[in-house]
Amino acid sequence: MSSNAITMPGAQIQARPWVDELHQWLTTVDHKRLGVLYILSALLFLAIGGVEALIIRIQLMRSHNDFVSPEVFNRMFTMHGTTMIFFVAMPVLFGFANYLIPLMIGARDMAFPRLNAFSFWLSFLGGLLLYFSFFGGSGLYGAGNAPDVGWWAYAPLGSRAFSPGHSSDYWTLALLVSGFGSIGTAINIIATVLCMRCPGMKISRMPLLVWLNLVMAGMVLIAITPLSAAQIMLLIDRYLGGHFFDTQAGGSAVLWMHFFWIFGHPEVYILIIPSFAFMSEIIPVFSRKPIFGYPVMVGATVCIAFVSMSVWAHHMFTIGMNSYANSFFAITTMAVGVPTGIKIFNWIGTMWGGRILFKTPMLFSIAFLFQFLVAGLTGIIQSSAPVDWQLSLSYFVVAHFHYVIVGGILFALFAAFYYWYPKMTGRMLSERLGKWHFWLFLIGFHLTFDVMHIPGVLGMPRRIYTYEPGRGWDNLNLIITIGAFIQAIAILVFLANLVISYLKGPRAGNDPWDAWTLEWSISSPPPAYNFATVPTVASRRPLWDLKHPEDPDSRYE
């Protein structure tokens, strides 16, 4: 099958001096390079956030431990949460979106390449700003140190009265800056998908990854902005004497909660929907069948996007809303489980009747299905408001959302890494190291996060730097910590795989997985211009049509 790429065999670009190479990377507007930059910066912050997690786990290993002081611990959980959500999960997903969307729609770049670069650097510099807080000078109590108000910075804890100094300002500004970067990327994704598809690629023929990232981008526009607005209000309170969240002046702490969670809940769907996108591309290829129910998958995602904007106060079941409000948010939260469940069934339906290949991307995908199911079910458990009056603010919630983010999003990301790394670098990741990575991480993950539900049920609240002995929490916490270290080792194996395979991995070729979307029709890595001639497509799986001219998809659509 001939490729669209014009790479003359044997032509070797002269190796450039490393300064030139660095300059190319720093000034690039190429979506592929920006995608890689997003991913690399996310991996850096993943390592830092992971260290913060390990510090937390060592401190909680046993009751009345004194590995770190309460002040340091409180900074650790604040920074861990903020880092992982804003400087790991969002960038890495934007990175993959950036890399893949133009390739999958037959375009040569994103709609606004310079805006793309600007958005990346805003995001990265936001991360640096957040971490500068550690060095911002530790003078008076709270003056110039890392934020310690939790990643939600609830009012009035984030106000000048309770958070003197600048630590909360670093939190606010870092997220404001990177938030604008996210909005830039969202605008770029929407314009790219709506305006730059190759001929024949009607909206109903786009790969699901493109569809789902389009939905995600739409959500970013209306979910990140409430947080930006609330942060501007917080800055007005802290620096201009405003009273938005000043309870002494009649202001409302609950208003901050509403604004934060109007951002915060859709945010987690912004994170999970691109993960669904990875699954919707990978599971079909390794089951050797098309995705089961493409239109339903699209419809369910759009449904999730809408309904998820109406569930936010399930994070606020304990704040004293009246019974009607609590009932409303309970039912909307339960309702959002329906389209989500439908997606799980459709993925299983894709595997059903297929020929499943257990390569590393598929191992992570199968684990994703199991774990996301559990995570969704513990979500349903908490959607019942009275049950949540017990479970909220406890380690049950911490277990639940790590199950979603690590067991769901991170596993899907690992699958995406193993699947698209060959396209990005031209080399295959080692299957052997991949399986070590998978099994180690799986064991560590379950040891930590399965067990973590139990202290929650036994009354252990979250965000505590130590706890009393005799409540039945000690040994459980020890087991959880051990699992965390196993996961850390697995991450090291993964990072080693990334590096070793880059240097010595087997060459990948255009299409190592025998897949069906446009990115596999060009070389690995693709040339700077992606496609020598803009392709034309007639179905959802253009490469399937090419490989099976006797039975093309275009006949069935």
Partner 1 sequence: MLKKSSTVRFLTQTILLLFWSALAVWASEPKGSSSHGTNIFAPASTPAKSIADLSVFVLVITALIFVVVVALLVYSVVKFRARATDAGREPAQVYGSTQIELAWTIIPILIVVVLFLATARVIHAIQDAPEPPGAVEVTVIGHQYWWEYRYPKLGIVTANELHIPVSDPSHPTPTFLRLLSADTDHSFWVPELGGKTDLIPNHPNRMWMDPQRSGVFLGQCAQYCGTQHAKMLLRVSVDGPEEFAAWVRAQQKPAAADAGAIAGRRVFETNACMNCHAVAGTAGDGRFGPDLTHLMSRATIAAGAAKNTHDNLRLWIQDPSAIKPGSLMPAMKLSDADLDAVVSYMETLR
Partner 2 sequence: MSAVTTSFPNTAAWRLPSRGKVAMASLIVAESAIFTIFVVAYLFYLGKSLTGPTPREVLETPIFYTICLLSSSLTIHFAAKCLARGIEFAFLGFWLLTIALGGLFLYGTAAEWHRLIYEHGLTISTNLFGTTYYSLVGLHAFHVTAGLAMLVIVAVFGLSGRVGVKQSGHIEVLSMYWHFVDAVWVVVFTVVYVLGR
Per CB under 8 A, 330 contacts partner 1: yes
Report yes or no: 48 and 488 within 8 Å, Cβ to Cβ. no
Stretch that binds partner 2, among 18-26, 164-172, 219-227, 293-301 (CB under 8 A): 219-227
Q: Which of 429, 428, 423 is nearest to 521 (CA)?
A: 423
Per CB under 8 A, 475 contacts partner 1: yes
Stretch that binds partner 1, among 129-137, 170-178, 199-207, 456-464 (CB under 8 A): 456-464
Stretch that binds partner 2, among 68-76, 196-204, 285-293, 465-473 (CB under 8 A): 196-204
| C-beta closer to partner 1: residue 448 or 524 | 448
Sign of CA dihedral 146, 149, 152, 158: negative
Per CB under 8 A, 63 contacts partner 1: no
Report yes or no: 193 and 213 within 8 Å, Cβ to Cβ. yes
451 binds, among partner 1, partner 2, none (CB under 5 to 8 A by kind): partner 1
Positions in 331-360 near partner 1 (CB under 8 A): 331, 334-335, 337-338, 341-342, 344-346, 348-349, 351-358
Q: Which of 440, 557, 555 is nearest to 497 (CA)?
A: 440
Stretch that binds partner 2, among 91-99, 255-263, 274-282, 361-369 (CB under 8 A): 255-263
Q: Show Cβ contacts of residue 450 under 8 Å, excluding neighbours closer than 6 positions.
A: 399
Positions in 485-504 near partner 1 (CB under 8 A): none
CA 321 vs. chain centroid, Å, equals 31
Positions in 389-428 near partner 1 (CB under 8 A): 389-394
Applying CB under 8 A, among 93, 176, 282, 374 the residue interacting with partner 1 is 374
| C-beta closer to partner 1: residue 137 or 386 | 386
- Tokens found for residue 262: 């109007």
- Rounded to whole angstroms, the Cα distance separating 534 from 541 reads 16
- Rounded to whole angstroms, the Cα distance separating 413 from 275 reads 7
Per DSSP, the residues of 315-338 read G-TTS---HHHHHHHHHHHHHHHH
554 binds, among partner 2, partner 1, none (CB under 5 to 8 A by kind): partner 2
Positions in 152-191 near partner 2 (CB under 8 A): 183, 186-188, 190-191
Applying CB under 8 A, among 55, 233, 305, 336 the residue interacting with partner 2 is 233
Per CB under 8 A, 371 contacts partner 2: no
Applying CB under 8 A, among 125, 254, 492, 495 the residue interacting with partner 1 is 254
Q: Give the shortest CB-438-to-partner 2 separation in angstroms.
A: 35
Angle at 520 between CA 515 and CA 524, to 5 degrees: 130
Helix 323-351 vs helix 253-287: angle between axes, to the nearest 10 degrees? 10
DSSP 520: G
Site string for partner 2, 463-502 (x = CB under 8 A): ----------------------------------------
- Rounded to whole angstroms, the Cα distance separating 435 from 33 reads 28
Alpha-carbon separation of residue 486 from 59, 445, 480 (angstroms) = 17, 8, 10
| C-beta closer to partner 2: residue 301 or 539 | 539
**Environment class of 300 (CB within 10 Å of its CB; exposed 0-12, middle 13-18, buried 19+):** buried
519 binds, among partner 2, partner 1, none (CB under 5 to 8 A by kind): none
Positions in 100-139 near partner 2 (CB under 8 A): 111-112
255 binds, among partner 1, partner 2, none (CB under 5 to 8 A by kind): partner 2
Per CB under 8 A, 232 contacts partner 1: no
Per CB under 8 A, 171 contacts partner 1: no
- Rounded to whole angstroms, the Cα distance separating 185 from 117 reads 9
Backbone angles phi, psi at 394, to 5 degrees: -115, 180
How many residues sit close enough to partner 2 to count as binding (CB under 8 A)?
A: 57
535 binds, among partner 1, partner 2, none (CB under 5 to 8 A by kind): partner 2
- Indicate the residue type of 190: I
Applying CB under 8 A, among 62, 108, 160, 243 the residue interacting with partner 2 is 243
Positions in 286-305 near partner 1 (CB under 8 A): 287-290, 292-296
Report yes or no: 369 and 336 within 8 Å, Cβ to Cβ. no
| C-beta closer to partner 2: residue 133 or 510 | 510
- Rounded to whole angstroms, the Cα distance separating 117 from 29 reads 5
Per CB under 8 A, 510 contacts partner 1: no
Number of Cβ within 10 Å of residue 469's Cβ equals 10
- Indicate the residue type of 270: I
Torsion-angle region of residue 470: left (phi > 0), alpha (psi -120 to 50) or beta? Answer: left
Site string for partner 1, 520-549 (x = CB under 8 A): ----------------------------x-
552 binds, among partner 2, partner 1, none (CB under 5 to 8 A by kind): partner 2
Q: Is the peptide bond before 469 cis (omega within 30 degrees of 0)?
A: no
Angle at 168 between CA 176 and CA 186, to 5 degrees: 15
- Tokens found for residue 342: 């439908």
Applying CB under 8 A, among 69, 475, 536, 551 the residue interacting with partner 2 is 536
| C-beta closer to partner 2: residue 111 or 488 | 111
Positions in 508-527 near partner 2 (CB under 8 A): 521
Which residues contact partner 2 by CB under 8 A?
Answer: 1-2, 4, 111-112, 183, 186-188, 190-191, 194-197, 199-200, 217-218, 221-226, 228-230, 232-233, 236-237, 240-244, 249-252, 255, 259, 262, 521, 532-533, 535-539, 542, 545-546, 552, 554
